[in-house]
């Protein structure tokens, strides 16, 4: 009897704790439209391929007209429209068509088209994380020759460039402060020169007032901006709605039901328009997590990450990877809690009822839950592996791109271009070394957070006198990094050498060192580490 009482009390405490935990979930304000808008968004995500095909068809129609065009003005306009169509769904294609437009404008010595296309190209490059290329492209625009709307657009593009930089939390804080100052200066230049009824002015003044804490004024300018948008189903409307939400969420830190509705409407619009770079989805998944709506949060999170992969923006992927992994971890914890509760419920029911039939049914139900849990854990583990591999490859590709870019700029500047820029762009082994250090640090951190017992498992298979102990300044060393990549499914020595920026011989040597230290058969070693 005492044991029965103890188990009953323990179960009661568990139920109270679970109920208390559920009560701690944050409940955001709602209107009568909020839940229906959320359901509409989730349905739209399932139909995203239809919207993507519709957008691709529209772009292909423009390409067909481009092939048949003979007039320069029409050719320029079509190239610009194609690039704009790709700008929010395929960043590489947008860059290709804008570079083509820049080249044609240079040949024709058409300054107006050249200046505009270079500023558009700089926007796309910075949004994709190619900051050096974007900065150089903007420097190629002769500021002294600009006036009127072109000068306003130049300052706005500069402000957007620094806004993107300081909003990337991967940038050092000391640099971000400088970027924030640069952004403010260029934004104020826009406000001094732009027509007060223009979209550029309204967008800039709205953000300035929001940052200053003048939220009513910021909302006023946002409302004026919204009233000037002719197409209510446009990207510009989606951006305006998102900005309205951001005033409350980012700056005021106080949400109303209408603000949530604006965010959801913005996300719905951008999905319908075939966009793949949808910042509003990142906010939606954050709000869903806050309310413990894990299933909906995971659906939004998986779609957002998959869309960013297709979009091709390095900086967006890096900024969102931590959030995506966190979603998976929270869902796993939720499933584990549900499983623990189910097991306790079965035990309690068995003791109280002593009914074999009911106990069998409940145990069978729990077994299905265990199977579902295991399947979800396997899937989440597979996704996590993919995320880490993607980020690592992105960093590796980025370093290689920087090397090629610097070499190209260095070669061009040697031909008596800008002397001061020549010194800044000479390829630097020291810089590449720092990039690699940052790359390895990000990879090591992500890998160890997902496989926290990895080093312990490796050392359990090694001789006591040959265990691997990384230095205090590193998380993984060379041998462990080779094994980590093998665990992610990357076995080819040439591919590993390219990703680690070393020779194939070095990879072979590291593998030989590991084999020479083994205290167990190699087959057991691979099984324990999950390399097969």
DSSP state string for 44-87: HHHTHHHHHHHHHHHHHHHHHHHHH--SHHHHHHHHHHHHHHHT
Q: Are the beta carbons of 126 and 399 closer than 8 angstroms?
A: no
The per-residue pLDDT for 343 is: 61
The residue length of the chain stands at 532
Q: Does residue 184 or residue 8 have the better pLDDT?
A: 184
| Of 237, 269, 202, 279, residue with least CA distance to 40 | 269
How far apart are alpha carbons 169 and 272 in whole angstroms? 29
464 has pLDDT over 80: yes
Q: Quote the CA–CA distance of 440 and 445 in Å, as a whole number.
A: 8
pLDDT at 434: 66
**Are the CB atoms for 393 and 314 separated by under 8 Å?**
no
Mean pLDDT, the chain, whole residue set: 80
Residue 518 forms beta bridges with which residues? 462
For residue 462, what are the β-bridge partners? 518
- Chain centroid to CA 370: how far? 32
Residue 41's pLDDT is 94
Structure tokens at 83: 């690039």
φ/ψ of 462, rounded to 5, equals: -100, 160
Comparing 222 with 486, the larger pLDDT belongs to: 222
- CB atoms under 10 Å from CB of 464, counted, come to 7
What mean pLDDT is predicted for residues 113-141?
89
Confidence of residue 269 (pLDDT cuts 50, 70, 90): very high
Instruction: Measure CA of the first residue to CA of the last residue in the chain; give whole Å.
Output: 50
Strand (E) or helix (H) holding 234:
none
Q: What percent of the chain has pLDDT over 90?
A: 34
* Residue among 325, 330, 334, 337 at smallest CA distance from 382: 325
Structure token digits, residue 370? 């265990």
Give the mean pLDDT of 371-381: 60
Are 225 and 199 spatial neighbours (Cβ–Cβ below 8 Å)? yes
Reading the block at residue 430, the tokens are 């020291």
Q: Cβ(280)–Cβ(242) under 8 Å?
A: yes
Cβ atoms within 10 Å of 256's Cβ, excluding its own: 14
Closest CA to 399 of 452, 443, 462: 443
Residue 377 above 70 pLDDT? no
Position 413 pLDDT exceeds 80: no
Residue 378: phi and psi, rounded to 5, are -60, -45
Give the whole-angstrom CA distance, residue 274 versus residue 269: 9
User: pLDDT at residue 304 above 90?
Assistant: no
268-277, 401-410, 411-420 — which one is most confidently predicted on average?
268-277
**Block residue for tokens 């040959």:** 466
pLDDT of residue 24: 47
pLDDT of residue 350: 62
φ/ψ (deg, to 5) at 344: -65, -40
Please give the backbone phi and psi of residue 518, each rounded to the nearest 5 degrees, phi first: -65, 140
Stretch among 98-102, 384-388, 454-458 having the lowest mean pLDDT: 384-388
- Checking if the pLDDT of 49 tops 80, the result is yes
The Cα–Cα gap between 477 and 460 comes to: 17
Q: How far apart are CA 266 and CA 249, in angstroms?
A: 14
Which residue is it, tokens 């990094």? 481
Token output for 74: 């029409």
Contact between 79 and 113 (Cβ < 8 Å)? no
Does the pLDDT value for residue 433 go beyond 80? no
**Highest averaged pLDDT of the listed ranges 118-127, 376-385, 465-474:** 118-127
Residue 5, pLDDT > 50, answer no
The mean pLDDT value for 400-405 works out to 61
Residue 3 has pLDDT above 50, yes or no: no
DSSP 482-520: HHHHHHTT---HHHHHHHHTS-HHHHHHHHHHHHHHBSS
Q: Where are the alpha helices (DSSP H) in 109-147?
A: 111-127, 131-139
d(CA 486, CA 428): 31
> Which residue did the predictor score with more confidence, 104 or 344?
104
Please state which of the ranges 32-41, 218-227, 319-328, 383-392 shows the lowest mean pLDDT. Answer: 383-392
Q: How far apart, in whole angstroms, are the C-alpha atoms of residue 29 and residue 262?
A: 13
Q: What is the band of 1 on the pLDDT scale with cuts at 50, 70, 90? A: very low
Tens digits of residue pLDDT in 60-114: 999 999 888 878 888 889 999 999 999 888 889 999 999 999 999 999 899 899 9
pLDDT of residue 22: 47
13: number of Cβ within 10 Å: 10
pLDDT for res 361: 67
* Strand, helix or coil for residue 462: strand
pLDDT per residue as tens digits for the range 217-246: 999 999 999 999 999 999 999 999 999 999
Q: What's the rounded Cα separation, in Å, for the pair 248 and 210?
A: 9
Q: Which of 515, 398, 375, 400 is nearest to 458 (CA)?
A: 515
Question: What average pLDDT does range 16-35 have in this prediction?
Answer: 67
The Cα 393–Cα 500 span in angstroms is 10
Per-residue confidence band for 20, with pLDDT thresholds at 50, 70 and 90: very low
pLDDT confidence of residue 245 = 95
């Amino acid at each position: 009897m005492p044991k029965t009482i103890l188990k009953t009390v323990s179960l009661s405490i568990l139920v109270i704790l679970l109920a208390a935990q559920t009560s701690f979930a944050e409940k955001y304000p709602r209107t009568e439209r909020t839940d229906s808008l959320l359901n509409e968004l989730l349905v739209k995500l399932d139909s995203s391929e239809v919207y993507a095909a519709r957008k691709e068809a529209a772009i292909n129609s423009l390409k067909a007209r481009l092939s048949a065009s003979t007039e320069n003005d029409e050719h320029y306009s079509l190239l610009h429209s194609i690039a704009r169509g790709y700008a929010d769904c395929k960043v590489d294609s947008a860059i290709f068509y804008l570079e083509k437009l820049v080249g044609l404008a240079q040949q024709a010595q058409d300054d107006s088209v050249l200046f505009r296309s270079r500023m558009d190209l700089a926007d796309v490059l910075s949004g994709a994380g190619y900051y050096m290329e974007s900065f150089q492209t903007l420097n190629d625009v002769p500021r002294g020759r600009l006036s009127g709307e072109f000068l306003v657009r130049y300052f706005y593009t500069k402000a957007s460039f620094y806004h993107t930089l300081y909003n990337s939390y991967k940038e050092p804080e000391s640099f971000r402060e400088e970027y924030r100052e640069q952004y403010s200066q260029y934004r104020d230049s826009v406000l001094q020169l732009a027509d007060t009824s223009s979209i550029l002015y309204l967008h800039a003044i709205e953000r300035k007032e929001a940052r200053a804490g003048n939220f009513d004024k910021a909302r006023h300018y946002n409302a004026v901006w919204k009233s000037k948008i002719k197409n209510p189903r446009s990207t510009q409307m989606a951006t305006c709605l998102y900005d309205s939400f951001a005033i409350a969420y980012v700056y005021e830190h106080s949400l109303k039901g209408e603000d949530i509705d604006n965010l959801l409407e913005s996300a719905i619009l951008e999905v319908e328009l075939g966009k793949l770079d949808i910042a509003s989805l990142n906010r939606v998944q954050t709000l869903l997590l806050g309310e413990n709506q894990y299933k909906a949060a995971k659906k939004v999170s998986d779609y957002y990450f998959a869309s960013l992969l297709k979009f091709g923006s390095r900086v967006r992927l890096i900024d969102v990877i931590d959030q995506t992994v966190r979603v998976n971890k929270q869902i796993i914890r939720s499933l584990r809690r549900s499983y623990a509760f189910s097991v306790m419920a079965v035990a309690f029911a068995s003791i109280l009822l002593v009914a074999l039939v009911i106990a069998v049914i409940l145990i069978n139900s729990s077994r299905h839950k265990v199977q579902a849990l295991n399947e979800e854990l396997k899937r989440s583990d597979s996704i996590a592996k993919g995320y880490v591999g993607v980020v690592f490859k992105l960093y590796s590709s980025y370093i290689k791109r920087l090397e090629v870019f610097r070499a190209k700029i260095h070669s061009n500047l040697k031909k008596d271009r800008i002397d001061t820029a020549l010194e800044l762009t000479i390829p630097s082994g020291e810089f590449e070394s720092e990039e690699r250090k940052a790359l390895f640090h990000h990879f090591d951190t992500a890998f160890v957070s997902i496989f926290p017992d990895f080093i312990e498992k490796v050392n359990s298979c090694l001789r006591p006198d040959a265990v691997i102990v990384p230095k205090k300044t590193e998380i993984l060393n060379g041998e462990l990094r080779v094994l980590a990549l093998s665990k992610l499914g990357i076995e080819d020595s040439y591919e590993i050498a390219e990703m680690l920026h070393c020779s194939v011989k070095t990879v072979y040597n590291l593998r030989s060192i590991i084999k020479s230290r083994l205290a167990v058969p190699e087959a057991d070693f691979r099984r324990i580490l999950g390399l097969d």
